[in-house]
Amino acid sequence: MGESDFFASGQWNFTCALCGKKQKSGKGTKTWDGKWVCLSHKEVRNPQDFVRGVKDAQALPWTNPESTQVFLPICTLAGKSCIADIAIANCARANFPLLT
């Protein structure tokens, strides 16, 4: 007969989940993850398991609405040229004669 094979009122035999030793329930405890272990194998749950993040509100306190105005480029004679920094987008032509 083993060490734990005796009658103890209100107790039962269990096998330690870590060492496999058979013991009475009075000499064991249940861990945070639900395993029955010897008192010598009891471990405390890591405090980092309970850490929660802090909400970081990144909404702006106020904003300006988008402008409803539409700006259209006006093609001018200089804007139709193919000279850099003078030409206007969608107006310039590659074969437009240079201004002299």
74-83 mean pLDDT: 78
- Tokens (6 digits) for 47: 């405090």
Which of the pair, 81 or 69, is modelled with greater confidence? 69
45-73 mean pLDDT: 88
Domain layout of the chain by residue ranges = 1-43, 71-100
Give the tens place of pLDDT for each residue, 17-27: 999 899 998 89
The yes-or-no verdict on residue 51 having pLDDT over 70 is yes
pLDDT at 50: 93
DSSP character at residue 40: G
> How far lies 93's CA from each of 73, 74, 86, 99, in Å?
15, 15, 12, 13
40: left (phi over 0), alpha (psi -120 to 50) or beta: alpha
Q: Model pTM? A: 0.47
Neighbours of 63 (CB within 10 A): 7
12-34 mean pLDDT: 90
The yes-or-no verdict on residue 52 having pLDDT over 90 is yes
